Chains A and B, each alone.
Chain A
């Protein structure tokens, strides 16, 4: 099986879809000639031409709107927003337009647009290159919001997103582009080639949207995480010696409640971990949803670990980042409660 990092896996997904489906186009700032600031679209314009792999002006509003128009005219655009922090100029076009076109036209029109965007911190990006804004998209009916955590899922889910007739906001946790990251920046980086999820088939396959994955079965508690935090949670559980069941959510919305309910009913304890700010974060929705269904199975209050409710500071990146120490402390408290 070939080894790929997440960037190569995403590149392979777009390569395959550009090759299979003439209606697929890739567009975004610097994605064409240069191949993207993270190299995710490297070589695609050379292979498929500049009519199908388009550099765009620096206008997220224009990128999303143009992708909508293209989608309405029969194309399947894969639009890159260079950093999730830059997505806000396109937010009205996503929320008021992309998400609503099918509904307001009673399915006469739809726009099968995939919006890829790197998110998350831990890369010395400061407050404008580190945000995790998934919750503000999860709140919007009409779009699907996903965040794969590894190369295998990234490729399979991106292909599924491109083929999906509904719009998909595809968050790429950029701290794990090159390897799983356990939250300790002082440790030597681990490459994806050393991880089973770095084994990625060359050809076409899909990983379904809307399905969470249990990445580590366990019996003592359930840790719900996604993106970079999957690996931080794994490391923290290992360090604490807790037999945690770790659920990688993969899709934020629509949410795979069945996997969550089954796991929490089994373990009776639940810790939710995300990198995004806590207040109004997606963890609140997860906590409420799990509590409504699993209350009588819970042995302790559901706990949350998240980024602090501040902007993501450049100089205090590791004090901000919800690393192993914070996750570990929450896990210890969860296991000691009641």
Chain B
């Protein structure tokens, strides 16, 4: 008689660690154009396949196929390519400036540019965005000058955060982009609250929030889904499954036995699993979800299957926990290359035009950097007034903070006097 099976603690392991051959056999894909596109008001119960298959529009031949093709004009695609390329070049340059010690910290979105850019383009300017820290593409789409972003990274005298936030934690009220938190996933249920208020006020703006697959393990994910479903909130909740949460692979967030999109139907919310490196597919599912939310059919959960090609941050070294050549072998390719190839296949783009665009954008980044550094860097130039530390804690400064501000002023004045005396 076979021994009775016993419970054993399962500790998930990624298919490959450094030195192992890359193995992406766990990433299930569907052929481009295969998935049907339901009506936006379709009942949740009819949408289950969308959560388990993969919505793709761009085929291996770089043609757009199937019901999800959003039929965008070439000039719109070119704008999308431009925003994605700008995001990438901006990231590359900021990474280098961090290595040069000009900024303290940076986080690139390499390989994930389509998620932010296609989604922001598919939404209306009045729709409220609740980003995570790898969504800088939304700032490109909504047109925030690079200089402003760079000044935030530099914590200089033009820093929108007045020196209070780690680099990349931007915000933009006029652009309808919420402040980024370093506490993961907190923005998910906040976006639902924003959407509930829009519904209470009878507006047709929608909210759109992003978290990584890793932080979908937080209770905030559950709170967001429950409130979104209960109140039928006009919100798009995105899980960017880039396979890696620093060193833990997506299995540690619960991705081994079910897709992240499949959590949606469990809450009574449509879940769509989309090829996150396919600009057209991301655009199309976002358009669908936005229309569904705007017309009273409620929330959608979107899982973007993508790959974090860069390190988690400038403080991270991914060669310690994953094979170096994973990104080269990532089955869904590179989002910039794929949109570029699609435009080339349409006869609306060329290598020459691409090179010229890259050159133009690089010059734009260089020029912006020169402009931004005029307002100070970590090491040189004008500095923010430390007085600012005490502002905006409350709308009006309470007496104890006034007192502490005076104390710091005295401390700094004494230090300056000492330095003066030393110089003699």
Contacts and interface: CB of A to CB of B under 8 A. Distances in A.
Contact of A210 (B164, B169, B196, B398): B398
B393 A257 contact: no
B139 interface: no
Given A61-B219, A72-B194, A106 B160 contact: yes
B398 A254 contact: yes
A104 interface: yes
A254 B179 CA distance: 25
Nearest to B195: A69
B395 A165 contact: yes
A97 B171 CA distance: 14
Contact of A105 (B179, B198, B395): B179
Nearest to A110: B395
B381 to A, nearest CB: 20
Contact of A106 (B128, B227, B392, B400): B392
Given A52-B200, A69-B207, A109-B173, A61 B223 contact: yes
Contacts of B192: 62, 65-66, 69
Contacts of B204: none
B198 A73 contact: yes
A106 B163 CA distance: 9
A254 B390 CA distance: 14
Nearest to B397: A254
B26 interface: no
A70 B193 contact: yes
Interface string B184-222: 001011111111111011000001000000000001101
Contacts of B162: 106
Interface in B168-186: 169, 171-173, 178-179, 181, 183, 186
A75 B190 CA distance: 13
Nearest to A69: B193
Interface string A70-94: 1111110000000000000100110
A75 B203 CA distance: 13
A61 B393 contact: no
A142 interface: yes
B197 A70 contact: yes
Contact of A65 (B128, B164, B169, B223): B223
A92 B183 contact: yes
Contact of A108 (B179, B181, B198, B399): B179
A193 interface: no
A103 B197 contact: no
A177 to B, nearest CB: 29
Contact of A109 (B178, B186, B393): B178
Interface string A103-144: 111111110000000000000000000000000000001101
A75 B194 CA distance: 9
B154 interface: no
A102 B198 contact: no
B223 A97 contact: no
B201 to A, nearest CB: 7
B224 interface: yes
A104 B197 contact: no
Contacts of B200: 25, 51-52, 70, 75
Nearest to A107: B392
Interface in A172-217: 210
A96 interface: yes
A225 interface: no
Interface string B372-401: 000000000000000000011111001110
Given A70-B194, A96-B181, A257 B160 contact: no
Interface string B9-49: 00000000000000000000000000000000000000000
Nearest to A108: B173
B227 A66 contact: yes
Given A66-B192, A109-B179, A73 B197 contact: yes
Contacts of A66: 189-190, 192-193, 196, 227
A249 B128 CA distance: 40
Contact of B196 (A70, A74, A255): A70
Contacts of B194: 69-70, 72-73
A101 interface: yes
A141 B171 CA distance: 21
Given A61-B223, A106-B160, A106-B161, A73 B399 contact: no
A141 B222 CA distance: 28
B10 to A, nearest CB: 27
A62 B223 contact: yes
A74 B171 CA distance: 17
A45 to B, nearest CB: 14
Nearest to A25: B200
Nearest to B172: A108
Contacts of A61: 189, 219-220, 223
A74 B201 contact: yes
A322 B375 CA distance: 58
24 contacts: A51-B200, A57-B227, A59-B222, A59-B226, A62-B192, A65-B186, A66-B189, A66-B227, A68-B190, A69-B196, A69-B197, A70-B193, A73-B197, A96-B186, A100-B181, A102-B393, A104-B165, A107-B395, A110-B395, A142-B394, A144-B394, A254-B394, A254-B400, A255-B400
Nearest 7 CB-CB pairs, A to B? A69-B193, A65-B189, A66-B193, A62-B223, A73-B197, A69-B194, A254-B398
Given A62-B226, A103-B164, 16 more contacts: A25-B200, A62-B189, A65-B190, A66-B190, A68-B193, A70-B197, A75-B200, A92-B186, A104-B165, A106-B162, A107-B392, A108-B160, A108-B172, A109-B173, A142-B393, A255-B400
